Amino acid sequence: MKKNVSLRNAIIAVVVTNIIAVAVILYAPIPFIGGMRLVTGQEYDFLQKFGKMIMVKSIVEDRYVDKIDTQKMIDGALRGMVSNATDIYTQYMDEKEFKEWTTQTKGSYAGIGVYIEPKDGRIMVVSPIEDGPAQRAGIKSGDYIIKINGEEMTSDDMNKAVTLMTGKEGKKINLIIYRPNVGNKEINLVTEKIVFKTVKSKVINNNIGYIRITQFTETTGDDFNKALDELLKKQVKGLVLDLRDNPGGLLTECVKVADRLVGEGTIVYTIDNRNQREEWTSRPDKLNIPLCVLVNEGTASASEIVSGAVRDYKAGTLIGTKTFGKGLVQDLIDLRDGTGIKVTIARYYTPSGECIQGKGITPNIVLPLPEKDKDRELKVEEDIQIQKAIEVIKSKL
């Protein structure tokens, strides 16, 4: 009896697949030749695989010893289809993951306050969010997250890791991190509301402006312009822009920042899989005081766009250590059912035509922080990179 049910379901699956195949053949936007619809070999292979997938789903649902979570099976199939054919940044996200990911460019969310990226098959911390639970616990750029709540993590578990480390306030999180040249360390955290205040500014050394940007969210560009205008009203003689441990964010916002710094020209351009070029340009007016930009291994993506434009136009001096090296652009696509897909759509290039993917940007002045200073909050007078920036700016006055 059970075998007959399985056979019946398999037959239904094949019939459904054939209906879909006919629909694709009749209505898909593929060229006609001589009035006849042609199906490529690749399309035909895909339809066969699609039919097999439906058959497998039907058989497993019918014969598996325990109850099957069908939605989980479908999500897994979609996730696998994307991850097995693309780079590490292109990912399918279920409803929970998609909601959490889109929240990260908004005003706030509940979590431990850490930005992560896949690297070398593992999950690497690009940067902790300033004054978040992760930073207060001593987590820093370059750490690798090995386990979360006892579960081993690899680069394939990025979405799962985000889900485990976010959620309601007060959730207890146990991490095992690996720090190069140090070893493993266990850290216990509690999630809390992370409020994004991405731009902070002040006057240092009596007459030098200092602006720190922690990431690029929807308000960062406007907040930066307000902060810069306030500093200029105070007649600062130079500017230190701190992009250390800035993991990036929205391209539109980093362009607003670069527009104030580099003068007229191309800030960044992208090239997609059709070799189509899109570029973002800046206006002629620019900052007319000496500029230094602080960068490190946690400076990634959108913050590298700003750094690359400043470097290429010689609009300022980059100080610190080599940046992360992410020269790929992702688009977040809402699939209209609560799920989404983050897909790499282009490579970006600095004004000089360099794609820094996997290479990063080497600053004009390479100056790493001493090991003893990497795990603690530094005052301006203790921070040798800020002090070097002050020295460089003074030399240009």
Residues marked active site are found at 301, 312, 326
Which residue from 18, 39, 41, 14 is spatially nearest to 28, judged by alpha carbons? Answer: 39
Q: How many angstroms separate the CA atoms of 49 and 56, rounded?
A: 10
- The residues, any chain, with a CB within 8 Å of residue 154's CB and separated by 6 or more, are 121, 122, 123
Which regions of 108-250 does DSSP assign to beta strands (E)? 108-111, 114-119, 122-128, 144-148, 151-152, 172-179, 183-190, 192-195, 199-204, 208-213, 238-242
| Phi, psi values for residue 75, rounded to 5° | -60, -40
List, as one string, the DSSP characters of 285-309: ----S-EEEEE-TT--THHHHHHHH
Distance between CA atoms of 355 and 68, rounded to whole angstroms? 45
Interatomic CA distance for residues 242 and 236, integer angstroms: 16
Residue 366: alpha-carbon gap to chain centroid: 25
Residue 377 in 3-state DSSP? Answer: coil
Please give the C-alpha separations between residue 36 and each of 19, 26, 30, 48, in angstroms, as whole numbers: 19, 10, 11, 21
Q: How many CA atoms lie within 13 A of 32 on its CB side?
A: 8
CB neighbours (10 Å) of residue 337?
8
CB atoms within 10 A of CB 351: 22
C-alpha to C-alpha distances, 282 to 200, 254, 279, 310, nearest whole angstrom: 23, 12, 10, 12
Q: Distance (Å, rounded) from C-alpha 150 to C-alpha 138? A: 20
Contact by Cβ (8 Å): 104, 340: no
Cα-based torsion angle of the residue sequence 271, 272, 278, 280 in order, rounded to the nearest 10 degrees = -70
